[in-house]
């Protein structure tokens, strides 16, 4: 791997990480006074359409057709778990506890992938994995103990409502950690953009099904007209991040790409301090917790 290719891969990974960091603030705006599951379905559907258009414009139709049953199964599983199911939890977490508290926890998923690989693929767990997990635990503890984010007007909720936000962030990390393996296996035999397009449409269908089956408050009522601009902005960010993320793996080591994405909470914190300082309630304990979760995750995967 040449230095030029490596530098290009790092650049692509950095752009993907930044796009995802900006995305969380658009989705936070879209979720204000809106049904979470309907917003999830809307964003995922628009995201799938955008990535499909990009894929058709840049790759041959043969890349969609040259797919084995096994590869298709991995792409379907990735879409079901990583997109459809996990996004419903991820957006709930952002809505209930804010991006600066949910993102550091959700973005610990590379550590889960590394640990799962160590124990399920016969690899010997290393000392760095255990040290990294210890750092992660301290970081997550600090984030949970930090002062909560301030609620938007008209959205005062109880402790149980917020507790499910914390649980949702943890479930997101678990789902992403497992589903990352399916994405990797699918992309080995199928163009990354084709894999992304297939997975996103499966995710969109799953999100629509969850929205239809749910009878709770998170699926009731229409999406406010004011939320649609934020929904499209969030989908644009996702559509930038996914292709850049996939192509970064082509040009540099996977561990570097994963480390760049794992550092995303630091970008989210900076944006939160600049644009949502009062709402997000950025505290020293929260910042230290985010730093430790990022450091612990990178320690595990390197």
User: Would you say residue 60 has pLDDT above 90?
Assistant: no
Mean pLDDT, residues 32-49 taken together:
93
Q: Which residue has the tokens 């600090």?
A: 142
Instruction: Please tell me the predicted confidence (pLDDT) of residue 86.
Output: 92
Could you give the CA distance from residue 180 to residue 183 in angstroms, rounded to a whole number?
Answer: 5
Instruction: Please tell me the predicted confidence (pLDDT) of residue 107.
Output: 79
Q: Are 9 and 56 in contact (CB under 8 A)?
A: no
Indicate left, alpha or beta for 158 from its phi (over 0: left) and psi (-120 to 50: alpha).
beta
Per-residue pLDDT reduced to its tens digit, 209-244: 999 988 776 667 889 999 999 999 999 999 998 888
Between residues 253 and 280, which one has the greater pLDDT? 253
User: Would you say residue 246 has pLDDT above 80?
Assistant: no
Tell me the CA end-to-end span of the chain in Å, nearest whole number: 18
Q: What is the pTM of this model?
A: 0.80
Mean pLDDT, residues 20-48 taken together:
91
DSSP structure class, residue 126? P
Instruction: Please tell me the predicted confidence (pLDDT) of residue 159.
Output: 75
Between residues 1 and 37, which one has the greater pLDDT? 37
Q: Are 192 and 247 in contact (CB under 8 A)?
A: yes
Between residues 98 and 45, which one has the greater pLDDT? 45
Q: Are 73 and 179 in contact (CB under 8 A)?
A: no
Instruction: Please tell me the predicted confidence (pLDDT) of residue 84.
Output: 92
User: Would you say residue 80 has pLDDT above 80?
Assistant: yes
Could you give the CA distance from residue 153 to residue 218 in angstroms, rounded to a whole number?
Answer: 18
Q: Are 290 and 265 in contact (CB under 8 A)?
A: yes
User: Would you say residue 253 has pLDDT above 70?
Assistant: no
Between residues 204 and 277, which one has the greater pLDDT? 204
DSSP structure class, residue 222? P
Q: Are 112 and 174 in contact (CB under 8 A)?
A: yes
Burial 200-225 (b: 16+ CB within 10 A, else e): bbbbbbbbbebbeebeeebbeeebee
Model confidence at 273, in pLDDT bands (50, 70, 90)? low
- Picking from 168, 102, 108, 131, the residue whose alpha carbon sits closest to that of residue 294 is 108
Instruction: Please tell me the predicted confidence (pLDDT) of residue 39.
Output: 94
Model confidence at 278, in pLDDT bands (50, 70, 90)? low
Average pLDDT value over all residues in the chain: 80
Q: Are 200 and 245 in contact (CB under 8 A)?
A: no
Per-residue pLDDT reduced to its tens digit, 97-156: 888 788 888 877 777 766 766 665 565 667 777 787 778 778 877 776 666 655 555 555
User: Would you say residue 2 has pLDDT above 80?
Assistant: no
Helices within the chain (DSSP H only): 3-31, 36-58, 62-65, 69-78, 86-97, 99-106, 109-120, 127-145, 159-188, 192-213, 228-251, 254-262, 264-275, 277-280, 284-301
Could you give the CA distance from residue 43 to residue 234 in angstroms, rounded to a whole number?
Answer: 7
Q: Is the dihedral of CA 236, 237, 239, 240 positive or negative?
A: positive
* Percent of the chain whose predicted confidence (pLDDT) is above 70: 81
Instruction: Please tell me the predicted confidence (pLDDT) of residue 149.
Output: 58
Q: Which of 12-21, 145-154, 188-197 has the highest mean pLDDT?
A: 12-21
Instruction: Please tell me the predicted confidence (pLDDT) of residue 59.
Output: 83
Q: How many CB atoms lie within 10 A of CB 297?
A: 30
């Amino acid at each position: 791997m040449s230095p030029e290719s490596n530098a290009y891969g790092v650049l692509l990974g950095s752009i993907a990480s930044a796009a995802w960091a900006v995305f969380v603030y658009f989705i936070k705006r879209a979720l204000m006074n809106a049904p979470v599951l309907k917003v999830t379905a809307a964003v995922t559907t628009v995201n799938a359409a955008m990535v499909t258009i990009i894929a058709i414009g840049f790759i041959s139709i043969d890349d969609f057709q040259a797919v084995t049953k096994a590869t298709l199964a991995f792409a379907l599983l990735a879409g079901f778990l990583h997109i459809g199911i996990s996004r419903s939890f991820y957006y709930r977490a952002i809505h209930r506890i804010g991006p600066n508290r949910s993102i550091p926890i959700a973005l610990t998923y590379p550590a889960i992938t590394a640990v799962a690989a160590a124990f399920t693929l016969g690899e010997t767990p290393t000392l760095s994995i255990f040290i990294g997990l210890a750092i992660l635990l301290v970081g997550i503890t600090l984030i949970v103990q930090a002062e909560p984010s301030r609620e938007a007007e008209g959205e005062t909720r109880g402790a149980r409502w917020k507790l499910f936000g914390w649980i949702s962030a943890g479930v997101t990390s678990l789902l992403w950690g497992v589903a990352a393996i399916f994405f990797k296996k699918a992309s080995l035999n199928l163009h990354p953009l084709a894999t992304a397009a297939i997975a996103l449409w499966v995710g969109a269908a799953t999100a629509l099904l969850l929205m239809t089956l749910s009878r709770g408050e998170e699926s009731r009522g229409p999406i406010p007209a004011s939320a649609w601009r934020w929904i499209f902005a969030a989908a644009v960010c996702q559509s930038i991040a996914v292709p850049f993320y996939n192509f970064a793996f082509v040009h540099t080591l996977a561990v570097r790409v994963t480390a760049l994405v794992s550092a995303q909470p630091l970008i989210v914190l900076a944006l939160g301090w600049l644009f949502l300082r009062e709402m997000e309630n950025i505290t020293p304990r929260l910042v230290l917790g985010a730093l430790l979760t990022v450091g612990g995750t990178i320690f595990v995967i390197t």
